[in-house]
Amino acid sequence: MKWAAALCLGVALPSLIGNVNDRGRPVVRIELPGRDTGFLAVVDTGFNGQLFLAADDAGALGMPSTGLRSSAEVAGGVRQQVDEAIAVIMWMGRERRVEVLLDLDRQQPKRADDPIALVGTRLLSSPMLLIDFTAGTVEIEGR
């Protein structure tokens, strides 16, 4: 039990804290290194990639397409064409290079506080995910 041992030794584990938003979605804020801006992302355990964003949002954040296009299965088992991008984000207190799938479909207008991305299980492969819907808290904690 590395986690318990770290607690006993007083070692601070890296973590990412979020909340359950007013629509009942577990949300975390993703920061971009060297930039004052970040973005909100829904933690989606049904998505097995790293990040999924609309192509327009990704471009505005400086995540241009690599020019590679592939097919991905999205909600409801529908397959759609996606572009791929590489981005550097702050993850668990460190810079991390991640693969981003870019949704090419036009997006509906969003509220300013709406999440624009999905965080998938490939970013959750070593941390522990704790979602308390009653308390409205989300915590992604390193091990």
pLDDT tens string 33-45: 988 889 999 999 9
Query: 131 lies in a domain?
Result: yes
Task: Find the angle CA(53)-CA(125)-CA(16) to the nearest 5 degrees.
Answer: 70
Query: With 50 as the cut, is the pLDDT of residue 2 above it?
Result: no
What is the domain count for the chain? Answer: 1
Q: Residue 32's pLDDT is what?
A: 94
Query: 3 lies in a domain?
Result: no
Query: 143 lies in a domain?
Result: no
Q: Residue 136's pLDDT is what?
A: 96
Query: 7 lies in a domain?
Result: no
Query: 39 lies in a domain?
Result: yes
Q: How far apart are CA 67 and CA 88, in angstroms?
A: 17
Query: 19 lies in a domain?
Result: no
Q: Which domain holds residue 123?
A: 27-136
Query: With 60 as the cut, is the pLDDT of residue 8 above it?
Result: no
Q: How far apart are CA 72 and CA 81, in angstroms?
A: 6
Q: What are 89-118's pLDDT values in tens digits?
A: 999 889 999 999 998 876 766 777 789 999
Query: What percentage of the chain has pLDDT greater than the value 90?
Result: 47
Query: 15 lies in a domain?
Result: no
Q: What is the average pLDDT score of the chain?
A: 85
Query: Quick one: average pLDDT of 57-75?
Result: 86
Q: Residue 109's pLDDT is what?
A: 63
* CATH number of residue 57's parent domain: 2.40.70.10
Q: Which helix (H) or strand (E) holds 57?
A: helix 55-60
